Amino acid sequence: MQHGDAARAILELAKRVEANLIVLGARQASFWLTQIANGLTLICLHRLLVQ
């Protein structure tokens, strides 16, 4: 298990393995889990597009 910037770790791994697709999702277990996952998805997309 790693701690830190999840968006950065996801994008670095995707780049390292030359991924063509990144799929992020969340269970609808709670309002907060959904908000965190949506936030991570948006952060990854933003960082990917800004590079």
Rounded to an integer, the average pLDDT of 11-18 is 93
20: helix, coil or strand? coil
Assigned domain for 18 exists:
yes
Instruction: Calculate helix-pair angle for 31-50, 6-16, nearest 10 degrees.
Output: 50
Query: Is the confidence at residue 23, as pLDDT, over 90?
Result: no
**This model's pTM is above 0.95:** no
Rounded to an integer, the average pLDDT of 23-41 is 65
Type of residue at 35? Q
- Mean pLDDT for the chain overall: 77
Assigned domain for 31 exists:
yes
pLDDT-above-70 percentage for the chain? 73
Domain count, the chain: 1
Biggest CA-to-CA distance, the chain: 33
Assigned domain for 17 exists:
yes
Tokens of 9: 């770790």
Assigned domain for 24 exists:
yes
pLDDT band with cut points at 50, 70 and 90 for residue 16: very high
Could you give the C-alpha distances from 31 to 11, 25, 26, 41, 49, in angstroms and in order?
25, 14, 11, 16, 27
Assigned domain for 1 exists:
no
Segments forming the whole domain that contains residue 35: 6-50
